[in-house]
Structure formats: C-alpha cells, structure tokens
Amino acid sequence: MSELKVGERAPDFTLPDQYNKNVSLKDYLGKKIVVLYFYPKDFTSGCTIEACSFRDSYEIFRDAGAEVIGVSSDSTESHTKFREKHNLPFTLLSDEKKEVIELYGIGKTLGLFTNRTTFVIDKEGVIKHIFSSQTEAAKHIEEALKIVNELIAK
C-alpha cells in the first residue's frame, strides 16, 4: 500500500456503482474536478453525517464543475439502500475487494475500519488535496469545497 501525495497523478480505477454500472476515474478526466471520498461503512453515524453533508452541498460542488464520488467496501446493494434512504444525488462505488482502497493507500483505524479520506482531483487527474479525519466527518466537505473553489478561481 503506497501513500499518494498532492501533485501526483490519481490512479485510474473502475468500480461498480450503486446500480452495478462500472465507473472509471478516466470518465471524468478533462471534464470535471472529482471529489473522491473513501468512507468506512454505509448506515454508520459518521458515514451518514458525511454523506448527508456532501448531499446538502452537492449543488455547490456541481455548479463549480465538480463531481462527488463516495467509495466504501460495502456491496452495490447496500449502496443502493443507503443512497435511497438519504436521498444522495451522487455516485457510490463498491470496492468489496478493497483494491482501490489499497491503491489509494487508505489505511485502517484500529486495524478494522477504512480511514475516512477525501481526495480532490483536478480535471487533468492530478491530486490537489488530501484530507483524512475519522472523527471530523463534516470537515471533509468544508476542505473539499475550499480546494474546488481555489481550482475554479484559477
């Protein structure tokens, strides 16, 4: 597991979304800024707070030319239920084998839970920001919005 750094190219990947449709990072290159957030588990309190905070700010991200994508090791079925229950307008990707979680160097808390980590990736596929905090779920949105606004101001 290698740790990615700001300024590096984000590794491409393909994972199934909540509808079992494959989504790749390269689908967004040249088109949108990507806010890629990794989270431990659907329906847990911190993950629900984080997802709903992204939901509540989704139009701001979209209007700024960014797409929000959540990734966890939950199944596509779990993502469908989580997305529907909380009216989430963005894509949730299922990484049941944890291959992309490992590719992005996402560690574990207490050796059990995937770390809550957010990457902001520019239109060229370069990582512009990485924020990791297991306990400050809502701060992921604040940090990502700040960077997205800086990118569109350039």
- Report the alpha-carbon distance of residue 26 to residue 125 in Å, rounded: 8
As given in the structure block, the two tokens for residue 121 are: 């990736």
- The pair of structure tokens assigned to 15 is 């994972």
Question: 132: closest CA among 118, 150, 153?
Answer: 118
Query: What are the C-alpha distances in Å from 133 to residues 14, 81, 153?
Result: 25, 25, 26
Active site residue ranges: 47
